[in-house]
């Protein structure tokens, strides 16, 4: 219920007006005394090292945690794996696939969270249960790579930030995870201070959500394909252009309908369709074009990503996932200076592999050129170097190596010495 309330437009608008970080800081401060008292009790309870509870933001079944959950459920029989969500629809669907799932405040959900030796999540402990994790090992698989700054690095300019508000916000933050997924040495250098996790506790392993992209892009796990009608439409269309933009902190709505309509028209001129999905933190633009397939908010984006021939995005790390399959990316950055001043970047966005555009006319022209001639944007050796910087040695099988890491988390090793994903790189598209 709470996740549905959070997605109401009036609630989104109120939170954006006040400020997302202010709201979360106030909520954290209100809860902090109760959480501290409860933690003293929970840390004394015995936990089952073979039991793992998992979850993702806004009660969805999505992202790295969802893909790892499917793998553990199907391939690691000595582990008890439970998905915890506030959505009864998610729980019912997973149970229909034969998986174990519980609603957060059901008896089964509470007992699983109290007994689990490990919490694994895509965002925060609250994806599972913020109140019941003390005493368990916590592992954050996160849900992005550092193009833009995240968490404690947002707005950082390498100067000490003081003031009462900043100190209160820091005090209200959820405690850092025990272990954090960070695929390369570069990502570890960015994520370690941002999340407050020592480098030696950053696992340089790949992202489970991309394993199927490197094996067969059009075959994600069946449990991740929630919306069969949209899947069927995109599977049968060619070419498919994906429009997936990042979340802008102060925005209630995604991009405007006119931009989506214009992109759909460019796709239509080449006999293709536009696949459009808004970030789950904002409301999608309303589009009436028959050549646009809107992927619902609760869908897992990566399940549909491999159906796209071209990606249109901005500062979203979805581009870095898509580049693993060597397909063209067109970036749209009309607010680059503002975004740099408010969020900040870990890499120069103008040097991202692909075509960078700053206005709509150039965006439409660039997309039209690529659709007319798929070879208009050839793969370059410097793109491989960029992928190496972000992904390290990852070439697939992240779920497999993470399953081993979860069995012996302290043995994974320091950066550069951890386990390496197996498999061969996917050939160029």
Supply the CATH number for residue 165's domain.
3.40.50.11820
Q: What is the pLDDT of residue 206?
A: 96
Whether the Cβ atoms of residue 48 and residue 116 lie closer than 8 Å to each other:
yes
H or E stretch covering 103: strand 101-103
Q: Which of 154, 175, 210 is the last residue of a domain?
A: 210
pLDDT on residue 193: 95
Tell me, what CATH number does 243's domain have? 3.40.50.12580
Phi-psi domain of 423 (left: phi exceeds 0; alpha: psi -120 through 50; beta: other): left
Q: What is the DSSP letter of 133?
A: -
Do residue 256 and residue 361 come from a single domain? yes
DSSP calls for 329-359: EEEE-TTHHHHHHHT-BSS-GGGSSSEEESS
Residue 215 lies in a domain: no
Instruction: Judge if 183 and 322 occupy the same domain.
Output: no
Predicted pLDDT of residue 422: 39
- pLDDT, residue 161, reads 45
Phi-psi region of 219 (alpha: psi -120 to 50; beta: other; left: phi over 0): beta
Residue 109 sits in which domain range?
A: 16-210
pLDDT at position 174: 79
* Domain identity same for 48 and 123: yes
Same domain, 233 and 203: no
pTM (2 d.p.):
0.88
* Distance of alpha carbon 192 from alpha carbon 199, whole angstroms: 6
Measure the CA–CA gap between 398 and 395, rounded to whole angstroms.
Answer: 8
Token digits of residue 251: 């925005």
Domain closes at, from 152, 180, 210: 210
**Structural domain count, the chain:** 2
On whether residue 146 sits in a domain, the answer given is yes
Cα–Cα distance for residue pair 178/81, rounded to 1 Å: 19
269 and 137 in a common domain: no
Q: In this structure, are 175 and 233 located in the same domain?
A: no
- pLDDT per residue of the chain (429 residues) written in tens, 0 to 9: 445 545 555 555 554 554 555 555 566 666 667 777 777 778 888 999 999 999 999 999 999 999 999 999 999 999 999 999 999 999 999 999 999 999 999 999 999 999 999 999 999 999 999 899 999 999 999 999 999 999 888 865 544 444 555 555 555 567 899 999 999 999 999 999 999 999 999 999 999 999 999 999 999 999 999 899 999 999 999 999 999 999 887 666 788 899 999 999 999 999 999 999 998 878 888 888 899 999 998 999 999 999 999 999 999 999 999 999 999 999 999 999 999 998 899 999 999 999 999 999 999 999 999 999 988 889 999 999 999 999 999 999 999 999 999 998 987 754 444 444 433 333 333
Give pLDDT, residue 175: 87
User: In this structure, are residues 367 and 266 in contact, taking their beta carbons and an 8 Å threshold?
Assistant: yes
419 domain-assigned: no
Please check whether residue 397 lies inside any domain of the structure. Answer: no
pLDDT for the residue numbered 173: 66
Q: Is residue 411 part of a domain?
A: no
Residue with tokens 């998610």: 90
Q: Kindly state whether residue 420 falls inside one of the protein's structural domains.
A: no
Length of the chain: 429
pLDDT of residue 172: 54
Q: What is the pLDDT of residue 363?
A: 98
DSSP-derived letter for residue 48 is E
CA 390, 146, 190, 337 torsion: positive or negative? positive
């Amino acid at each position: 219920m709470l996740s549905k309330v959070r997605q109401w437009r009036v609630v989104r608008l109120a939170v954006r007006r006040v400020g997302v970080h202010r709201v979360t800081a106030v909520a954290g401060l209100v809860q902090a005394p109760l959480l501290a008292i409860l933690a003293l009790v929970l840390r004394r309870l015995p936990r089952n090292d073979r039991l793992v509870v998992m979850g993702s933001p806004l009660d969805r079944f999505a992202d790295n945690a969802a893909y790892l959950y499917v793998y553990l459920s199907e391939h690691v029989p000595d582990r008890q794996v439970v998905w915890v969500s506030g959505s009864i629809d998610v729980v019912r669907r997973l149970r229909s696939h034969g998986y174990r799932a519980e609603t957060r405040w059901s008896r089964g959900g509470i007992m699983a969270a109290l007994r689990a030796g490990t919490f694994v999540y895509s965002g925060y402990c609250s994806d599972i249960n913020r109140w019941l994790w003390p005493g368990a090992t916590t592992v954050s698989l996160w849900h992005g790579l550092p193009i833009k700054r995240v968490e404690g690095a947002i707005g950082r300019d390498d100067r000490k930030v003081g003031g009462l508000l900043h100190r209160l916000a820091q005090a209200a933050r959820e405690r850092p995870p025990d272990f954090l997924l960070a695929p390369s040495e570069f990502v570890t250098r960015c994520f370690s201070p941002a999340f407050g996790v020592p480098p030696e506790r950053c696992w340089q392993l790949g992202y489970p959500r991309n394993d199927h992209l490197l094996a067969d892009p059009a075959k994600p796990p069946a449990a991740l394909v929630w919306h069969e009608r949209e899947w069927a439409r995109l599977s049968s269309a060619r070419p498919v252009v994906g429009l997936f933009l990042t979340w802008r902190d102060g925005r209630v709505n995604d991009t405007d309908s006119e931009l989506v309509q214009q992109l759909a028209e460019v796709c239509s001129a080449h006999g293709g369709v536009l696949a459009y999905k808004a970030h789950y933190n904002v409301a999608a633009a309303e589009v009436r074009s028959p050549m646009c397939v809107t992927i619902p908010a609760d869908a897992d984006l990566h399940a549909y990503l491999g159906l796209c021939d071209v990606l249109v995005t901005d500062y979203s790390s979805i581009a870095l996932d898509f580049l693993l399959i060597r397909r063209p990316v067109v970036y749209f950055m009309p607010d680059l200076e503002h975004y740099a001043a408010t969020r900040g970047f870990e890499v120069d966005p103008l040097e991202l592999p692909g075509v960078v555009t700053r206005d709509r006319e150039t965006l439409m022209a660039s997309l039209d050129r690529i659709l007319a001639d798929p070879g208009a944007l050839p793969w370059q050796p410097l793109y491989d170097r960029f992928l190496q910087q972000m992904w390290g040695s990852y070439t697939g099988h992240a779920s497999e190596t993470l399953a081993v890491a979860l069995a012996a988390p302290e043995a994974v090793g320091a950066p550069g010495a951890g386990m390496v994903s197996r498999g061969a790189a996917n050939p160029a598209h």
